[in-house]
Amino acid sequence: MGKLTTHILDLTCGKPAANVKIELKRLGESIMKEIYTNKDGKVDIPLLAAEELVFGEYVMEFHAGDYFASKNTNAADQPFLTIVTVRFHIADPDAHYHIPLLLSPFGYQVYRGS
């Protein structure tokens, strides 16, 4: 059975990014899931699993600006990035799709992990 998972690492401190809001949508549809990362920068359950994971285009939005703003109360130092949007394609609903996000207030890297 396939599944979709993610995790986020905060590159500014070299630690998992806890309490980051993630919204998942199937392209052209409303929000399917809204979830927050745990203390390990992961979600407690797969974003999609089994029959929920179907062929198609998806959009995952990571609310990076809110996360970094909560760590810094100085308005002049608000992060450049607000929402990191990752658009991806599920081709094989039986596969494991893992999307790690390496994050800083000014840049990010995302890839298909394992």
The answer to whether the CB of 76 falls within 8 A of the CB of 85 is no
The CATH code of the domain that includes 7 is: 2.60.40.180
**What pTM was computed for the model?**
0.92
Amino acid sitting at position 13: C
More confident residue, 29 or 84: 84
86 has pLDDT over 90: yes
| Contact present, 97 and 112 (Cβ < 8 Å) | yes
Q: Looking at the 3D structure of the chain, how many domains does it have?
A: 1
Report the run of H or E that residue 66 belongs to, with start and end: helix 64-71
> Domain range holding 91?
3-110
pLDDT tens digits along 6-17: 999 999 999 999
Q: What's the pLDDT score for residue 1?
A: 83
- Alpha carbon of 16 to those of 1, 43, 98, 103: distances in Å? 27, 11, 16, 10
User: pLDDT tens across 16-34, in order?
Assistant: 999 999 999 999 889 999 9
